[in-house]
Amino acid sequence: PAFVAQHFAHGVTTEAIAHAPMMTYDRKDRLQEQWLQRQGLASRQSPPKHFVPSNDGFVRGCEAGMGWGMHPRWLIQRQLGAGTLVELLPGTGMTMPLYWVHARSAQTSLERLTDCVMAAARQWLVPAEKA
């Protein structure tokens, strides 16, 4: 909340976004840029970035006010409820497809792991037809 008050006191605008530090998982992470485009907030000026290739570190960095970033809602539900994290623009989340990919040559040896991943996905993720 303090980060939002400091960087977005006059609203989430293209200019404010261009200057507010942004968290990214790694150099391939484009979720934040995709969200900015969908909100009409993309700018030619790239905001300062912090690369944090750790799920827990990424969340904790945002809680500490290092920057803003995209998180799976289920991962930060507790922080949203406690008010230690807030949405920049409430109700503007994104649905992203996830895929489980592995080499066919390893299919037999990964069968149990694949079953566990699929069971967890059914429990925690929204099916594509409902997204």
In a domain, 89, yes or no: no
107 and 63: one domain?
A: no
Q: State pLDDT tens for residues 112-124.
A: 999 999 999 999 8
Structure tokens at 47: 């905001």
CATH number of the domain that 16 lies in?
Answer: 3.40.190.10
- The number of domains in the chain is 2
Do 64 and 126 lie in one domain? The reply is no
Q: Which of 69-105 are b and which e, b meaning 16 or more Cβ less than 10 Å from the residue's Cβ?
A: bbbeeeebeebeeeeebeebeeeeeeeeeeeeeeeee
Tokens, residue 106: 């390893």
17 and 52: one domain? yes
**Residue range(s) defining the domain that contains residue 52:** 2-82
CB of 72 within 8 A of CB of 56? Answer: no
Domain assignment of residue 88, yes or no: no
Give whichever of 107-111, 115-119, 123-127 has the largest mean pLDDT: 115-119
Q: 64 in a domain, yes or no?
A: yes
CA distances from 16 to 22, 30, 68, 90, 110 (A): 11, 19, 12, 17, 46
Q: Give kind and range of the element (H or E) at residue 114.
A: helix 111-124
pLDDT per position as a tens digit, 25-55: 999 999 999 999 999 999 888 899 999 999 9
Same domain, 23 and 77: yes
Per-residue pLDDT at 22 exceeds 80: yes
- Is 90 domain-assigned? no
Q: How many CB atoms lie within 10 A of CB 18?
A: 17
Please indicate, yes or no, if residue 100 is contained in any of the structural domains.
yes
Query: Does any domain span residue 91?
Result: no
pTM of the model: 0.81
Report yes or no on 26 lying in a domain: yes
